[in-house]
Amino acid sequence: MSLNRRNFLAGAAGLAAAGLRARAAVKPRSGCQTNAWNLDPARFDLLLTALKEIKELEFQGFETNIRFVQPQLNNLAKAKAQIEATGLVFLGAHTDIPAYWKLGNEKAAAQVTGLCADAKKFDAKAIIFSHIGSLSKTGDFTEQQLEQKCRFLDLAGQRCADAGIVLAYHNHEPEFEKNAREQFGLMRHTNSKTVMMMYDIGHAWRAYPDAISFFEQYHTRVYGLHVRDYHNHDISVPLGQGEFPLRKLEAAIQKTGWHGWLIDEEERPDMSDKPGMKVTGPSRKTMREIFGV
């Protein structure tokens, strides 16, 4: 039985179209960082209020700093039940990376083990590590510094994997200075199975115009995307009110079939009274309109 060229091309086109439809049907999950709310480690009720409002905005999950839940370890059953009652997934507990450059890898990794244990008690799915300032604010560092950081992340990633939790590294702008020198180094020299990214694509874009191309290249290692928008490349505004290329990002998500956590982070560090729903509400509307989630 022969297959002529026309039938072959038609079949190939059909398979390609089916593949595109399948990727389009798989969408990211919507999440929200709690940085837009006034929180206090001593006031668990403030976190619960924020989660209630995040749920009202129809997000599927939330991310918060681990220090806002750790004080409840002595009241774990009740606190965990209250979080579960919101109907939100605790997608990630955020914290600073342990000072491995002072402590040494083993002592720093022991801290990671403790953080994993605390986060797991609240059913957090990931530990999200930030390295404020990173190796260098300007992208100038030695290969030895990069190697040391990669060794620590690999060790920490294994500790997290052993605990049944994801390690997701959260970048700021410095990792993307000098053509994303540090972030490319981290991706090339760490274990792709145990060191994931909480890719703050807004921070990255401010330092590296090809931030979306970077996402396309490493999307399989992106546990979550922090999306944010800026006016004049500097002033934080709700999604859709600035210049960040949201539709280009949406096209990249469709192209790759990525379906991790798409997270709105309305960080307003200069505001003493956080805006909460005033900024997350408009951003949530934009997320639905552009990303369909």
pLDDT at 11: 58
Look at residue 1 and tell me if it is in a domain.
Answer: no
pLDDT at 133: 83
pLDDT at 94: 98
Q: Is the pLDDT higher at 108 or at 16?
A: 108
Look at residue 23 and tell me if it is in a domain.
Answer: no
* Confidence bin at 22 (pLDDT 50/70/90): very low
CATH of the domain at 205: 3.20.20.150
Axis crossing angle, helix 143-162 with helix 105-121, rounded to the nearest 10: 40
Average pLDDT over residues 130-157: 96
Range of the domain at 67: 28-291
Look at residue 3 and tell me if it is in a domain.
Answer: no
Torsion of CA 96, 98, 101, 107, to 10 degrees: 180
In sequence order, the 6+-apart residues with CB closer than 8 A to the CB of 114 are none
Q: Which of 13-27, 79-93, 264-278 has the lowest mean pLDDT?
A: 13-27
Average pLDDT over residues 182-197: 98
Look at residue 11 and tell me if it is in a domain.
Answer: no
**Beta bridge partners of residue 168, listed in sequence order:** 128, 196
| Separation CA 95–CA 167 (nearest Å) | 11
CA distances from 225 to 95, 219, 255, 259, 267 (A): 17, 10, 16, 10, 14
Q: Is the pLDDT higher at 9 or at 285?
A: 285
* Confidence bin at 12 (pLDDT 50/70/90): low
Average pLDDT over residues 213-228: 98
| Separation CA 268–CA 36 (nearest Å) | 7
What mean pLDDT value characterizes the chain? Answer: 93
User: Is the predicted pLDDT of residue 217 greater than 80, yes or no?
Assistant: yes
pLDDT at 14: 57
Look at residue 135 and tell me if it is in a domain.
Answer: yes
Look at residue 196 and tell me if it is in a domain.
Answer: yes
CB burial string 139-164: b at 16+ within 10 A, e below: bebeeebbebbbebbbbbbbbbbebe
Judging by beta carbons within 10 Å of its beta carbon (0-12, 13-18, 19+), is residue 6 exposed, middle or buried? exposed
Look at residue 6 and tell me if it is in a domain.
Answer: no
Rounded to 5 degrees, what angle do the CA atoms 53, 55, 59 make? 120
| Separation CA 222–CA 225 (nearest Å) | 7
Q: Please tell me the total count of domains within the chain.
A: 1
H or E stretch at 37: none
CA distances from 175 to 135, 141, 214 (A): 8, 11, 12
Look at residue 22 and tell me if it is in a domain.
Answer: no
CB burial string 245-273: b at 16+ within 10 A, e below: ebeebbebbbebbbebbbbbbbbeeeeee
* Confidence bin at 25 (pLDDT 50/70/90): low
| Separation CA 211–CA 226 (nearest Å) | 12
What is this structure's pTM?
0.90
